[in-house]
Amino acid sequence: MVVDWDGTAVPHKWPDRPTEFMPGFVENMRRIHEAGMRIVIFSARLNPHDPYTGQRSARWETEAAANFQYIRSTLDAAGLSFIAIWAKEGKPSGAVYVDDKAERYNGCAKCWDKVTDRILVRLGKEEAVFPAFEMEGR
């Protein structure tokens, strides 16, 4: 299982480093671990590339080390030392991804239409349309 850090494990307060967890996170990570699942934290804080330019960040080496230590010490202080942290380039593989900014895609015939609609509404590019409430004949 792969879990995002900011906004999923801890409140999204970038660039600050919150040490309080989202409600229920600690207890449920223990439940998942006890069920035999491997848990990996995946964070943009550890990504060597600038999300806007795609270029490798000149400060990445020092920032990544400090961010890794922040995440590790926050997990360890809560007794979650069994959770791994992805510190390599690329995306880790996992059976399940948990992320506060995700949209689910399941391969149905109109899924990309639905995903695109949700993305555009989320980004404020379109107004939400609720077909069940629209007047007939429109």
Do 110 and 61 reside in the same domain of the chain?
A: no
Q: Is the pLDDT score of 136 beyond 70?
A: no
Do 117 and 64 reside in the same domain of the chain?
A: no
User: What pLDDT, in 10s, does the model give residues 51-98?
Assistant: 677 777 777 677 888 999 999 999 999 999 999 999 887 889 999 999
User: What pLDDT, in 10s, does the model give residues 19-42?
Assistant: 999 999 999 999 999 999 999 999
pTM: 0.82
For residue 4, how many other CB atoms are within 10 A of its CB?
19
- How many structural domains is the chain composed of? 2
In 20-110 the beta strands, taken as DSSP E runs, fall at 40-42, 84-85, 97-98
Q: Which domain holds residue 131?
A: 106-138
Contact yes or no for 98/9 (Cβ under 8 A): no
Do 78 and 18 reside in the same domain of the chain?
A: yes
Do 96 and 115 reside in the same domain of the chain?
A: no
